[in-house]
Amino acid sequence: MTKVIQMTRTGGPEVMELIDVTLAPPGPGEAQVRHEAIGVNFIDVYFRTGLYPQPLPAGLGMEGAGVVEAVGPGVTHVKVGDRVAYAGRPNGAYAQARNMPASALLVLPEHIPFETAAAMMLQGLTVQYLFHRTVALKAGDTILFHAAAGGVGLIACQWARVLGVNLIGTVGSDQKAALALANGAAHVINYNKENFVERVREITGGKGVSVVYDSIGKDTFTGSLDCLAPLGMMVSFGNASGPVPPFSLNELASRGSLFITRPSLMNYTAKREDLEASAASLFGVVGSGEVKVPVHQRYNLADVAQAHIDLESRKTMGSSILLP
């Protein structure tokens, strides 16, 4: 029997139930992965609450690292015994073992431990596409990045430093501010104490930034637009405080012909060659030690409710994992 988390309804952390299932053999194109570590991401909260709908009953979790135990017909690029990791659909990573489309699996370089992989795949691939593909950042750019001490945020701070990009981070506490600075942020604003729009204007000498990366959504959206220089790019990539309310396109014109995009990792890694290129880039900066992804919070799979409570109440910093 395999222990997995299942939801039969959406709601609070209590809807995640640990149940025993008999795992079917992997089907065509699938590999069976026994997890050594599982990633916890804010997107899991959106699926749990129903903000992102999915048919029920359903599993949860989009990121894991472990060993291939079996492969189904037609699988060629992974084999039994491979150390692998993944970030992607379908949900169901909150499990001791699972079947996964083999096309989503990446063979892990020897130097990357399972726990690091589970902490970094989804968040690291996200920073990779946000900084290299949504916008191709270059040395000297100044950007605003919200939730800079979160899982995605700490990787972003370090990757910005690698690229020579001045990252202005926002955070919710002084402890988080210190952590973001230590990880490479050029400036940090505690948005619970200071008006982040005014501070960004001060820091940039009134010019504003060329790109804002906003994963907070409802609470920061308008302020983020106000931080942009004319022709700047608003990258709205999450909704930790709630979805962005409808807005008029004139909001973009009146602030100086702004651009806006609402990207998703799934689109940027849908093609196998894009996934492999992004992963090679991520494995490169982690392998060189330029970006470090320590596990900041560890929970047993059975304690996943606590992991969600901590994430939603903004107690966590950096990445969280579950141990099966």
Residues that bind ligand NDP (CB under 6 A): 41-43, 122-123, 126, 147, 149-153, 171-172, 176, 215-216, 219, 237-241, 263-265, 311-312, 314, 316
DSSP 105: -
- Shortest distance, position 94 Cβ to ligand NDP, whole Å: 14
Question: In this structure, is the dihedral angle defined by the CA atoms of residues 147, 152, 153 and 156, taken in order, positive or negative?
Answer: negative
Cβ contact 143:137 at 8 Å? yes
* Alpha-helical regions (H) of the chain: 42-49, 114-129, 151-163, 174-182, 196-203, 221-226, 250-254, 265-268, 272-287, 304-312
Nearest residue to ligand NDP, by Cβ distance, number only: 150
Shortest distance in whole angstroms from residue 102 CB to ligand NDP: 22
State the nearest-atom distance from the C-beta of 70 to ligand NDP, in Å.
Answer: 29
Close Cβ partners of 303 (under 8 Å, ≥ 6 residues apart)? 322
Helix axes 151-163 and 114-129, enclosed angle (nearest 10) = 60
Nearest to 95 by CA among 215, 3, 8: 3
Minimum CB separation of residue 211 from ligand NDP in Å reads: 15
Nearer to ligand NDP, 96 or 241 (CB): 241
* Minimal distance, residue 79 CB to ligand NDP, in Å: 29
User: What are φ and ψ of residue 261, in 5° steps?
Assistant: -145, 155
Among residues 267, 277, 293, which one has the least CA distance to residue 65?
Answer: 293
- Closer of 219 and 303 to ligand NDP (Cβ): 219
Which residue, 4 or 40, has its beta carbon nearer to ligand NDP?
A: 40
Q: In terms of CB distance, is 2 or 10 closer to ligand NDP?
A: 10
Residue placing its CB nearer to ligand NDP in the complex, 68 or 244: 244
CB of 254 to ligand NDP, least distance (A): 26
DSSP percent split of the chain into helix, strand, coil, nearest 5: 35, 30, 40
Q: Which is nearer to ligand NDP, 97 or 322 (CB)?
A: 322
Segments in 91-192 forming alpha helices (H): 114-129, 151-163, 174-182
Nearer to ligand NDP, 56 or 266 (CB): 266
DSSP 14: G
- Smallest gap from residue 126 Cβ to ligand NDP (A): 4
